[in-house]
Amino acid sequence: MEPKVYSLSEHQIAPDQIDTHAFYVIQKLKEAGHKAYLVGGGVRDLLLQQKPKDFDVSTSAKPEEIRGIFRNAILIGRRFRLAHVRFGRKVIEVSTFRSGDTETADLIVRDNEWGTEEQDVLRRDFTINGLFYDPESQEIIDYVDGYLDLEKRLLRTIGQPEARFIQDPVRMIRLIKFCARFQFEIDAPTFQALLNCKGDILNSSSARVFEELLRMLESGASRPFFHLLQEYGLLQPLLPNLAEALQEKEIAEPTFRLLEETDAEMKKQLGQPLDRALLLSVLLFPLFEIIIQHKSSRQPLHLGQIAELSHQLLDEVFSPFFQLPRRMRAILSLILTAQFRILPLESRGQKKLRAPLDPIFSMALHLFKWRAAVQPELLPTYTDWTEAMYQGAESPAPLPPRRRRRRRRRS
Protein backbone atom coordinates (compact mmCIF):
# COMPACT_ATOMS: atom_id res chain seq x y z
CA MET A 1 0.00 0.00 0.00
CA GLU A 2 1.39 3.38 -1.03
CA PRO A 3 0.88 6.06 1.62
CA LYS A 4 -0.28 9.59 0.97
CA VAL A 5 2.43 12.12 1.80
CA TYR A 6 1.64 15.67 2.92
CA SER A 7 4.29 18.38 2.75
CA LEU A 8 4.92 21.32 5.08
CA SER A 9 2.89 23.64 2.82
CA GLU A 10 -0.14 21.38 3.34
CA HIS A 11 0.04 20.41 7.03
CA GLN A 12 1.80 23.60 8.28
CA ILE A 13 3.39 22.03 11.36
CA ALA A 14 6.16 24.46 12.26
CA PRO A 15 9.55 22.82 13.00
CA ASP A 16 9.83 24.69 16.31
CA GLN A 17 6.69 22.89 17.55
CA ILE A 18 8.59 19.58 17.66
CA ASP A 19 10.08 18.60 21.00
CA THR A 20 13.87 18.85 20.74
CA HIS A 21 14.47 15.62 22.67
CA ALA A 22 12.08 13.68 20.42
CA PHE A 23 13.86 15.14 17.37
CA TYR A 24 17.21 14.06 18.85
CA VAL A 25 15.93 10.50 19.43
CA ILE A 26 14.73 10.26 15.81
CA GLN A 27 18.06 11.59 14.46
CA LYS A 28 20.09 9.10 16.52
CA LEU A 29 17.93 6.17 15.38
CA LYS A 30 18.30 7.23 11.75
CA GLU A 31 22.06 7.63 12.11
CA ALA A 32 22.13 4.02 13.36
CA GLY A 33 20.41 2.89 10.13
CA HIS A 34 16.81 2.63 11.37
CA LYS A 35 13.56 4.24 10.28
CA ALA A 36 11.99 6.51 12.90
CA TYR A 37 8.99 8.85 13.04
CA LEU A 38 6.83 10.79 15.44
CA VAL A 39 3.54 8.93 15.72
CA GLY A 40 0.10 8.91 17.33
CA GLY A 41 -1.39 11.55 19.58
CA GLY A 42 1.48 14.01 19.24
CA VAL A 43 1.05 14.23 15.46
CA ARG A 44 -2.74 14.41 15.81
CA ASP A 45 -2.57 17.25 18.35
CA LEU A 46 -0.11 19.25 16.22
CA LEU A 47 -2.49 19.00 13.26
CA LEU A 48 -5.35 20.15 15.53
CA GLN A 49 -3.17 23.10 16.62
CA GLN A 50 -3.03 21.87 20.19
CA LYS A 51 0.04 21.43 22.36
CA PRO A 52 0.87 17.70 22.64
CA LYS A 53 1.27 16.24 26.11
CA ASP A 54 3.68 13.62 24.81
CA PHE A 55 5.85 13.01 21.78
CA ASP A 56 6.04 9.30 20.97
CA VAL A 57 8.45 7.75 18.48
CA SER A 58 7.95 4.62 16.36
CA THR A 59 10.95 2.91 14.79
CA SER A 60 12.21 -0.17 12.98
CA ALA A 61 14.80 -0.68 15.76
CA LYS A 62 14.14 -3.56 18.18
CA PRO A 63 13.86 -2.71 21.90
CA GLU A 64 17.33 -4.11 22.66
CA GLU A 65 18.79 -2.07 19.76
CA ILE A 66 17.15 1.08 21.14
CA ARG A 67 18.72 0.43 24.53
CA GLY A 68 22.09 -0.05 22.81
CA ILE A 69 21.82 3.36 21.12
CA PHE A 70 20.70 5.32 24.19
CA ARG A 71 22.41 4.91 27.54
CA ASN A 72 19.48 6.74 29.15
CA ALA A 73 16.93 4.16 27.89
CA ILE A 74 15.13 1.50 29.92
CA LEU A 75 12.91 -1.28 28.54
CA ILE A 76 9.45 -1.72 30.03
CA GLY A 77 6.39 -3.92 29.52
CA ARG A 78 5.72 -7.55 28.77
CA ARG A 79 2.45 -7.39 26.86
CA PHE A 80 3.81 -4.45 24.87
CA ARG A 81 7.61 -4.18 24.99
CA LEU A 82 8.98 -0.68 24.44
CA ALA A 83 11.73 1.72 25.51
CA HIS A 84 11.63 4.86 27.63
CA VAL A 85 14.41 7.30 26.78
CA ARG A 86 14.80 9.62 29.75
CA PHE A 87 15.89 13.26 29.72
CA GLY A 88 15.63 14.32 33.35
CA ARG A 89 11.93 14.11 34.21
CA LYS A 90 10.89 13.96 30.56
CA VAL A 91 10.33 10.57 28.92
CA ILE A 92 10.26 9.93 25.18
CA GLU A 93 8.43 6.65 24.54
CA VAL A 94 9.95 4.65 21.69
CA SER A 95 8.10 1.62 20.28
CA THR A 96 9.13 -0.85 17.58
CA PHE A 97 6.99 -1.30 14.46
CA ARG A 98 4.50 -4.09 15.19
CA SER A 99 2.66 -6.59 13.01
CA GLY A 100 -0.09 -9.08 13.79
CA ASP A 101 -3.60 -10.15 12.88
CA THR A 102 -5.78 -7.04 12.90
CA GLU A 103 -9.07 -8.65 11.84
CA THR A 104 -9.42 -11.71 14.10
CA ALA A 105 -11.81 -10.97 16.96
CA ASP A 106 -9.61 -12.31 19.75
CA LEU A 107 -8.53 -10.44 22.87
CA ILE A 108 -4.92 -9.25 22.51
CA VAL A 109 -2.85 -10.62 25.39
CA ARG A 110 0.58 -10.09 23.84
CA ASP A 111 1.75 -7.64 21.19
CA ASN A 112 5.43 -8.15 20.48
CA GLU A 113 5.53 -9.29 16.84
CA TRP A 114 7.81 -6.93 14.90
CA GLY A 115 6.80 -5.67 11.46
CA THR A 116 6.97 -2.84 8.92
CA GLU A 117 5.77 0.72 9.29
CA GLU A 118 2.67 -0.07 7.21
CA GLN A 119 1.83 -3.12 9.39
CA ASP A 120 2.36 -0.98 12.48
CA VAL A 121 -0.18 1.61 11.33
CA LEU A 122 -2.79 -1.03 10.46
CA ARG A 123 -2.80 -2.41 14.02
CA ARG A 124 -3.40 1.02 15.63
CA ASP A 125 -6.82 2.06 16.94
CA PHE A 126 -8.19 5.05 15.00
CA THR A 127 -7.23 6.68 11.72
CA ILE A 128 -6.52 10.02 13.41
CA ASN A 129 -3.84 8.25 15.50
CA GLY A 130 -2.31 6.42 12.53
CA LEU A 131 -0.18 9.24 11.09
CA PHE A 132 3.63 9.32 10.94
CA TYR A 133 5.59 12.57 10.92
CA ASP A 134 9.20 12.81 9.77
CA PRO A 135 10.68 15.94 11.37
CA GLU A 136 13.71 15.87 9.03
CA SER A 137 11.74 15.91 5.76
CA GLN A 138 8.80 17.65 7.50
CA GLU A 139 6.36 15.24 5.86
CA ILE A 140 3.18 13.54 7.13
CA ILE A 141 2.95 9.90 6.00
CA ASP A 142 -0.63 8.57 5.90
CA TYR A 143 -1.58 4.93 5.16
CA VAL A 144 -5.17 5.10 6.50
CA ASP A 145 -6.66 8.46 5.39
CA GLY A 146 -6.26 9.79 8.92
CA TYR A 147 -5.33 13.24 7.59
CA LEU A 148 -8.65 13.52 5.73
CA ASP A 149 -10.57 12.24 8.78
CA LEU A 150 -8.97 14.97 10.89
CA GLU A 151 -10.15 17.55 8.37
CA LYS A 152 -13.66 16.03 8.46
CA ARG A 153 -13.50 15.79 12.28
CA LEU A 154 -14.44 12.11 12.01
CA LEU A 155 -13.58 9.20 14.32
CA ARG A 156 -13.12 5.90 12.50
CA THR A 157 -11.38 2.66 13.49
CA ILE A 158 -8.57 1.26 11.40
CA GLY A 159 -9.94 -2.04 10.11
CA GLN A 160 -13.18 -3.82 11.03
CA PRO A 161 -14.63 -1.96 14.06
CA GLU A 162 -16.11 -4.87 16.03
CA ALA A 163 -12.93 -6.92 15.69
CA ARG A 164 -10.82 -3.97 16.87
CA PHE A 165 -13.02 -3.38 19.93
CA ILE A 166 -13.06 -7.06 20.89
CA GLN A 167 -9.26 -7.26 20.49
CA ASP A 168 -8.80 -4.37 22.92
CA PRO A 169 -12.03 -3.16 24.61
CA VAL A 170 -10.28 -0.09 26.10
CA ARG A 171 -10.46 1.32 22.55
CA MET A 172 -14.16 1.98 23.21
CA ILE A 173 -13.25 4.22 26.16
CA ARG A 174 -10.66 5.97 24.00
CA LEU A 175 -13.23 6.51 21.25
CA ILE A 176 -15.53 8.31 23.69
CA LYS A 177 -12.55 10.22 25.07
CA PHE A 178 -11.68 11.64 21.63
CA CYS A 179 -15.33 12.39 20.95
CA ALA A 180 -15.50 14.39 24.21
CA ARG A 181 -12.15 16.15 23.83
CA PHE A 182 -12.41 17.18 20.19
CA GLN A 183 -16.20 17.18 19.57
CA PHE A 184 -15.67 14.82 16.61
CA GLU A 185 -18.42 12.75 15.01
CA ILE A 186 -18.21 8.93 15.11
CA ASP A 187 -18.66 7.27 11.72
CA ALA A 188 -21.70 4.96 11.47
CA PRO A 189 -20.00 1.51 11.40
CA THR A 190 -17.72 2.46 14.32
CA PHE A 191 -20.67 3.75 16.36
CA GLN A 192 -22.72 0.61 15.71
CA ALA A 193 -19.77 -1.54 16.77
CA LEU A 194 -19.50 0.49 19.99
CA LEU A 195 -23.13 -0.26 20.82
CA ASN A 196 -22.72 -3.95 19.93
CA CYS A 197 -19.52 -4.47 21.92
CA LYS A 198 -20.05 -2.32 25.01
CA GLY A 199 -20.48 -5.38 27.26
CA ASP A 200 -16.97 -6.53 26.26
CA ILE A 201 -15.49 -3.63 28.22
CA LEU A 202 -15.41 -5.95 31.27
CA ASN A 203 -12.88 -8.14 29.40
CA SER A 204 -10.32 -5.36 29.60
CA SER A 205 -7.84 -4.56 32.33
CA SER A 206 -9.61 -2.70 35.15
CA ALA A 207 -6.38 -0.81 35.88
CA ARG A 208 -6.20 0.49 32.28
CA VAL A 209 -9.85 1.54 32.27
CA PHE A 210 -9.50 3.26 35.65
CA GLU A 211 -6.45 5.16 34.40
CA GLU A 212 -8.44 6.38 31.38
CA LEU A 213 -11.25 7.59 33.65
CA LEU A 214 -8.81 9.45 35.90
CA ARG A 215 -7.06 11.04 32.93
CA MET A 216 -10.38 12.31 31.66
CA LEU A 217 -11.11 13.89 35.05
CA GLU A 218 -7.81 15.75 34.54
CA SER A 219 -8.48 16.62 30.89
CA GLY A 220 -10.87 19.55 31.11
CA ALA A 221 -13.44 17.49 29.18
CA SER A 222 -14.79 15.26 31.95
CA ARG A 223 -18.35 16.54 31.71
CA PRO A 224 -18.94 15.53 28.05
CA PHE A 225 -16.92 12.33 28.58
CA PHE A 226 -19.02 10.97 31.46
CA HIS A 227 -22.20 12.18 29.78
CA LEU A 228 -21.33 10.14 26.66
CA LEU A 229 -20.25 7.13 28.76
CA GLN A 230 -23.73 7.20 30.30
CA GLU A 231 -25.57 7.92 27.05
CA TYR A 232 -23.83 5.14 25.07
CA GLY A 233 -24.21 2.56 27.84
CA LEU A 234 -20.58 1.99 28.87
CA LEU A 235 -20.94 3.42 32.37
CA GLN A 236 -23.49 0.73 33.25
CA PRO A 237 -21.14 -2.29 33.09
CA LEU A 238 -18.25 -0.36 34.68
CA LEU A 239 -20.01 1.52 37.50
CA PRO A 240 -23.58 0.16 37.58
CA ASN A 241 -24.67 1.86 40.82
CA LEU A 242 -23.40 5.23 39.67
CA ALA A 243 -25.00 4.75 36.22
CA GLU A 244 -28.32 3.96 37.88
CA ALA A 245 -28.05 6.98 40.18
CA LEU A 246 -27.34 9.30 37.21
CA GLN A 247 -30.71 8.38 35.76
CA GLU A 248 -32.20 10.47 38.58
CA LYS A 249 -32.36 14.18 37.76
CA GLU A 250 -31.62 15.26 41.37
CA ILE A 251 -28.28 13.42 41.19
CA ALA A 252 -27.40 13.85 37.50
CA GLU A 253 -27.76 17.65 37.39
CA PRO A 254 -25.44 18.50 40.31
CA THR A 255 -22.94 15.83 39.22
CA PHE A 256 -22.56 17.22 35.71
CA ARG A 257 -22.50 20.82 36.98
CA LEU A 258 -19.68 19.91 39.38
CA LEU A 259 -17.83 18.27 36.49
CA GLU A 260 -18.19 21.53 34.55
CA GLU A 261 -16.61 23.45 37.43
CA THR A 262 -13.76 20.93 37.56
CA ASP A 263 -13.23 21.21 33.80
CA ALA A 264 -13.11 25.00 33.98
CA GLU A 265 -10.36 24.84 36.60
CA MET A 266 -8.39 22.11 34.80
CA LYS A 267 -8.38 24.15 31.58
CA LYS A 268 -6.69 27.03 33.41
CA GLN A 269 -3.87 24.66 34.50
CA LEU A 270 -2.87 26.93 37.37
CA GLY A 271 -0.67 25.75 40.23
CA GLN A 272 -0.01 22.16 41.21
CA PRO A 273 -2.01 19.29 39.67
CA LEU A 274 -5.04 18.39 41.74
CA ASP A 275 -5.09 15.12 43.65
CA ARG A 276 -6.99 12.45 41.76
CA ALA A 277 -9.02 11.56 44.84
CA LEU A 278 -10.35 15.12 44.90
CA LEU A 279 -11.33 14.88 41.23
CA LEU A 280 -13.01 11.53 41.80
CA SER A 281 -15.01 12.95 44.73
CA VAL A 282 -16.88 15.19 42.26
CA LEU A 283 -18.46 12.09 40.70
CA LEU A 284 -19.53 10.69 44.05
CA PHE A 285 -20.64 13.58 46.25
CA PRO A 286 -24.13 14.29 44.81
CA LEU A 287 -25.06 10.62 45.25
CA PHE A 288 -23.48 10.58 48.72
CA GLU A 289 -25.38 13.71 49.75
CA ILE A 290 -28.71 12.10 48.82
CA ILE A 291 -27.80 8.98 50.82
CA ILE A 292 -26.87 11.05 53.90
CA GLN A 293 -30.00 13.18 53.68
CA HIS A 294 -32.14 10.06 53.47
CA LYS A 295 -30.40 8.39 56.43
CA SER A 296 -30.40 11.51 58.60
CA SER A 297 -34.13 12.01 58.08
CA ARG A 298 -34.66 8.85 60.17
CA GLN A 299 -32.08 9.47 62.87
CA PRO A 300 -29.30 12.00 63.60
CA LEU A 301 -25.89 11.04 62.20
CA HIS A 302 -22.51 11.89 63.70
CA LEU A 303 -19.33 12.17 61.62
CA GLY A 304 -18.20 8.64 62.51
CA GLN A 305 -21.39 7.21 61.02
CA ILE A 306 -21.04 9.41 57.95
CA ALA A 307 -17.48 8.10 57.49
CA GLU A 308 -18.76 4.52 57.66
CA LEU A 309 -21.39 5.32 55.04
CA SER A 310 -18.71 6.80 52.80
CA HIS A 311 -16.74 3.54 52.87
CA GLN A 312 -19.94 1.64 52.15
CA LEU A 313 -20.59 3.90 49.15
CA LEU A 314 -17.08 3.32 47.78
CA ASP A 315 -17.60 -0.43 48.01
CA GLU A 316 -20.96 -0.24 46.26
CA VAL A 317 -19.82 2.09 43.47
CA PHE A 318 -16.44 0.60 42.56
CA SER A 319 -16.84 -3.12 43.28
CA PRO A 320 -16.51 -5.61 41.74
CA PHE A 321 -14.70 -4.37 38.60
CA PHE A 322 -12.42 -1.71 40.11
CA GLN A 323 -10.21 -1.89 43.15
CA LEU A 324 -9.41 1.52 44.60
CA PRO A 325 -5.82 2.06 45.76
CA ARG A 326 -5.73 2.17 49.55
CA ARG A 327 -4.46 5.75 49.77
CA MET A 328 -7.05 7.04 47.29
CA ARG A 329 -9.84 5.24 49.13
CA ALA A 330 -8.83 6.78 52.47
CA ILE A 331 -8.59 10.31 51.05
CA LEU A 332 -11.90 9.98 49.20
CA SER A 333 -13.67 8.93 52.38
CA LEU A 334 -12.19 11.86 54.33
CA ILE A 335 -13.12 14.39 51.61
CA LEU A 336 -16.71 13.15 51.45
CA THR A 337 -17.09 13.02 55.24
CA ALA A 338 -15.57 16.48 55.73
CA GLN A 339 -18.36 18.05 53.63
CA PHE A 340 -20.62 17.49 56.66
CA ARG A 341 -18.07 19.01 58.99
CA ILE A 342 -17.87 22.11 56.80
CA LEU A 343 -21.67 22.29 56.61
CA PRO A 344 -23.18 20.18 59.42
CA LEU A 345 -26.51 18.48 58.94
CA GLU A 346 -27.89 20.42 61.91
CA SER A 347 -27.10 24.03 62.76
CA ARG A 348 -25.09 24.35 65.97
CA GLY A 349 -25.31 28.09 66.42
CA GLN A 350 -22.46 30.57 66.27
CA LYS A 351 -19.14 28.94 67.02
CA LYS A 352 -15.62 29.94 66.14
CA LEU A 353 -14.47 27.81 63.22
CA ARG A 354 -11.23 25.91 63.65
CA ALA A 355 -9.86 24.67 60.35
CA PRO A 356 -7.24 21.93 60.63
CA LEU A 357 -3.98 22.66 58.81
CA ASP A 358 -4.32 19.43 56.93
CA PRO A 359 -3.89 18.93 53.15
CA ILE A 360 -6.86 16.56 53.02
CA PHE A 361 -9.12 19.14 54.68
CA SER A 362 -7.86 21.64 52.09
CA MET A 363 -9.01 19.20 49.39
CA ALA A 364 -12.39 18.90 51.11
CA LEU A 365 -12.70 22.69 51.11
CA HIS A 366 -11.72 22.69 47.42
CA LEU A 367 -14.67 20.38 46.68
CA PHE A 368 -16.89 22.68 48.76
CA LYS A 369 -15.69 25.63 46.63
CA TRP A 370 -16.96 23.83 43.49
CA ARG A 371 -20.22 23.09 45.32
CA ALA A 372 -20.55 26.77 46.21
CA ALA A 373 -20.06 27.71 42.55
CA VAL A 374 -23.00 25.44 41.70
CA GLN A 375 -25.04 26.48 44.79
CA PRO A 376 -24.32 30.19 45.51
CA GLU A 377 -26.13 29.97 48.88
CA LEU A 378 -23.07 28.02 50.12
CA LEU A 379 -20.66 30.88 49.39
CA PRO A 380 -20.84 32.51 52.86
CA THR A 381 -19.96 29.18 54.49
CA TYR A 382 -17.05 28.71 52.07
CA THR A 383 -15.82 32.25 52.83
CA ASP A 384 -15.97 31.67 56.59
CA TRP A 385 -13.95 28.44 56.36
CA THR A 386 -11.41 30.00 54.00
CA GLU A 387 -10.83 32.85 56.46
CA ALA A 388 -10.53 30.35 59.31
CA MET A 389 -7.86 28.45 57.36
CA TYR A 390 -5.87 31.63 56.68
CA GLN A 391 -6.09 32.69 60.31
CA GLY A 392 -4.93 29.25 61.41
CA ALA A 393 -2.00 29.38 58.99
CA GLU A 394 -0.96 32.84 60.21
CA SER A 395 -1.28 32.10 63.91
CA PRO A 396 2.05 31.19 65.48
CA ALA A 397 2.23 27.71 66.90
CA PRO A 398 1.93 27.70 70.70
CA LEU A 399 5.23 27.38 72.51
CA PRO A 400 5.77 24.17 74.45
CA PRO A 401 5.39 24.61 78.22
CA ARG A 402 8.59 25.74 79.87
CA ARG A 403 10.17 23.06 81.99
CA ARG A 404 11.03 24.12 85.51
CA ARG A 405 14.54 23.29 86.49
CA ARG A 406 14.86 21.29 89.64
CA ARG A 407 17.30 22.62 92.16
CA ARG A 408 19.89 20.12 93.14
CA ARG A 409 20.15 19.25 96.75
CA ARG A 410 23.52 19.80 98.23
CA SER A 411 24.80 16.80 100.03
Contact 15, 135 (CB under 8 A): yes
Helices (H), 12-153: 20-31, 41-47, 63-69, 117-122, 146-152
Please identify which of the residues 45, 56, 200, 263 carries the catalytic annotation. Answer: 56
Q: How confident is the model at residue 397 (pLDDT cuts 50, 70, 90)?
A: very low
**Beta pairing partners, 96:** 59
Which residue did the predictor score with more confidence, 305 or 106? 305
Taking only the tens place, the pLDDT of each residue in 398-408 is 545 555 556 55
Instruction: Give the per-residue pLDDT at 411.
Output: 46
Contact 169, 200 (CB under 8 A): yes
Segment of 137-151, 334-348, 350-364 carrying the highest mean pLDDT: 137-151
Residue 236 confidence (pLDDT) above 90: yes
Q: DSSP 3-state helix, strand, coil percentages of the chain (rounded to 5)?
A: 55, 10, 35
Q: Distance (Å, rounded) from C-alpha 62 to C-alpha 406? A: 76
Contact 316, 241 (CB under 8 A): yes
Instruction: Give the per-residue pLDDT at 402.
Output: 57
Mean pLDDT, residues 357-379 taken together: 95
Please identify which of the residues 16, 19, 45, 54 carries the catalytic annotation. Answer: 54
Segment of 224-228, 295-299, 317-321, 346-350 carrying the highest mean pLDDT: 224-228
Contact 25, 58 (CB under 8 A): no
Instruction: Give the per-residue pLDDT at 270.
Output: 60
What percent of the chain is modeled with pLDDT above 90? 82
3-state secondary structure of 165: helix
Instruction: Give the per-residue pLDDT at 80.
Output: 80
**Beta pairing partners, 114:** 98
CA angle at residue 98 from 94 to 102, to 5 degrees? Answer: 135
Contact 161, 193 (CB under 8 A): yes
Task: Tell me which fold the domain 1-152 belongs to.
Answer: Beta Polymerase; domain 2 (3.30.460)
| Residue 358 appears among annotated catalytic residues | no
DSSP letter string, 275-310: PHHHHHHHHHHHHHHHHHHHHHTTS---HHHHHHHH
Q: Distance (Å, rounded) from C-alpha 364 to C-alpha 251? A: 20
Please identify which of the residues 125, 149, 200, 263 carries the catalytic annotation. Answer: 125
Instruction: Give the per-residue pLDDT at 351.
Output: 73
Instruction: Give the per-residue pLDDT at 99.
Output: 86
Instruction: Give the per-residue pLDDT at 405.
Output: 58
Angular region, 406: left φ>0, alpha ψ -120 to 50, beta rest: beta
Lowest mean pLDDT among 38-42, 174-178, 295-299: 295-299
Domain boundaries defined on the chain? 1-152
Q: Distance (Å, rounded) from C-alpha 116 to C-alpha 139? A: 18
Instruction: Give the per-residue pLDDT at 97.
Output: 95
Residue 339 confidence (pLDDT) above 90: yes
Mean pLDDT, residues 320-332 taken together: 95
Instruction: Give the per-residue pLDDT at 353.
Output: 84
3-state secondary structure of 154: strand
**Beta pairing partners, 5:** 141
**Beta pairing partners, 83:** 75, 94
